[in-house]
Structure 1
Amino acid sequence: MEEQTIRVHRCETKKEKPQDDQLIFGKSFTDHMFVMDYSEPLGWHNASIVPYQPLQIEPSAMVFHYGQSVFEGLKAFRTDRGSIELFRPEKNMERLNHSNDRLCIPPIDEAFALQAIKKLVSVDQDWVPHTEGTSLYIRPFIISTETYIGVSAAAHYKFIVILSPVGAYYKEGINPVKIAVEDEYVRAVKGGTGEAKTGGNYASSLKAQEIVAKSGYTQVLWLDGLEKKYIEEVGSMNVFFKINGEIVTPKLNGSILAGITRYSVMDLLNHWGIPVVEKRISIEEVYEAYQNGELEEAFGSGTAAVISPIGELKWGDKQMIINEGKTGDISKKLYDTITGIQYGHIEDPFNWMQNIETPSPVKH
């Protein structure tokens, strides 16, 4: 893609911002959004920051019919240093291109996309909440917009970034959640789109999620799609188990999303000298460890929730109460460390945070 500039068209009337203590995850959106188009032979072009507004898309746009879409999720934080910073955003852009490749979407220029995100956050900097535990959620996504009814890769796309001030993803916060093991429905299989961040993966998870929610469970723990035996991931998180002093997480296998927080958890555990192993692990192994008193802790990791301790795991008619339903020491330490780095409370030895230049907002 040729070097291009980002045009900025500021809104004339700004929205009323929600109070920090009234934030509901994913419900409020900022004044502006970033939009960029793709077509042949121009490639990616027309990069603009514009007022947040509805999209004008034809009913025949291919995204509605064949599901060619990808997305990402990352956050901007107000730090103790008075700056606004992003957590490992280059990894999100790298993963976005991995998803693009799987969905036959043209790759983006990762450095330019990150520049666009930083510019957008800078324009809407007043929307980054100030209260501990809050942040500005960033949702980049790409959709196919070509008007054609036919199964093929599209020739026209839109890359869009929207922003949303958010509080905690789970109402439980860092307190343990209840998870149900899913052994009927399938989310993804190796060779499918499970390792891409695409909307279809989440649509296929809704039925099982709806069923377990009626029984009071927060999320679904997915098993592999072939044998329905090996643990893969929770709907919105990767998953970790502490078994007899060792941290175990399912090995990436082509149907598990490679989480940015997952990598960060493993980096921290290795940094602390705590054994962490990626391997194929069955639900039977986890239950056996539970029966033997060796399942000491379980938790999920993800951008939205950061670290979410698992206090109860239900597998069929078997119920596992983990660590007496309390937050474990490793979960707490990981949560405190990752959020501590994100908010600037503690040192960032890995240089994970990237600063956003925030000049004084333009007054209207």
Structure 2
Amino acid sequence: MGEEALIETETKRNWADLLPELLSLILKKLPEISDFVRCRAVCKTWHLSSSISDLPPQFPWIVKVNEGSDLEFYSIAFKKVYTIRARCFSGKSLLRSTGSYMLKQFGNPGSYSLLNPVTNSEVPLPVLQVCNPIWLPWLSWYNLPNFQSDDYVFLTEMERSIGYKPGDDRWNIIGPGRESQFCCYHFKDLLFRVDSYNGFTKIMNINSQKELYDVPAPKYKRNYEKSFRGPYLVESCGEILSVSHNHSFEWRDIKFSIHRLEFGNGKGTPCWIELSSIGDRILFFEITVPYGRGFWLRASDFTGFKGNCIYFINRLQTFRSSYVPMYDIENSEIILIDTPFAPFNLENHITWFLPSLKHI
């Protein structure tokens, strides 16, 4: 009779009464975003008593951008393919990703919105008066992966850098773009632009639009510096990094050079210091011509992944290939990661995407 009573008690247990603090602990142990979403959807009580802040850090997905109505994602961490039907998506739209949002172009030239395909939340942007429609395919969006509702949305055209802060009714010209083209980055109200002629990094205060520094290009120790591609700027651990690589058509011959911007505590002129290691950090880049986008994560947040490495998507070298390369900085070697996607081409390319449930 005792066992029967125990079985009856277990059957009548109401899991909706699970203490919120216990539910939070459970959610933080679910590394895959799909399991996290299913857990929150069990019942209304679980949904209301949980928070998206409980979602553990997510290893980036690879998204395949094509002309279909669906977006395909591949998780390197879990070796899974996800198919998501993006809201208001049409075959004529162009999507580019930076972090958890994708830049969506639709209708007339200059019409854009920000889209999170996981939550299907969309933020319309003011119509952009385009200087030269011919350069629209090269339009660059270089926001931080974790930008917030009060951050600028940045774009560059061939001749200007422009910004939009949510709540404004128009785009604002932040600075010239021609001399820096698309090598731009912003962090803590500072805009970093790399001069395409001499490699100097110009640092400007976004709010005052005052030029603060003009930093000479990094000095490369390798003997193939003339063939370097980049630099690609990225913030990591509060530091600005400059990442370049040599031009090579052979995977095994690709090498990276990494420099940190040293401000010298406000004394003297800032300069670039070469790094031999980035420790626990992982850098992610999408390398295209003539610009590149990047972000970083901590390897210790992900089981089975090592730090001190660079994952990169090279649009020129991934054509007719289904591999994504990882550069091991310590051993100076390339490791190819296979994906289930068909070989990529100009119309069917891939980019990085950080799955998130946050809304702007």
Give the TM-score normalised by the residue count of structure 1. 0.31
Higher relative contact order (CA 8 A, sep 6+): 1
Larger proportion of helix:
1
Larger proportion of strand:
2
Determine which structure has more spread, i.e. the larger CA radius of gyration: 2
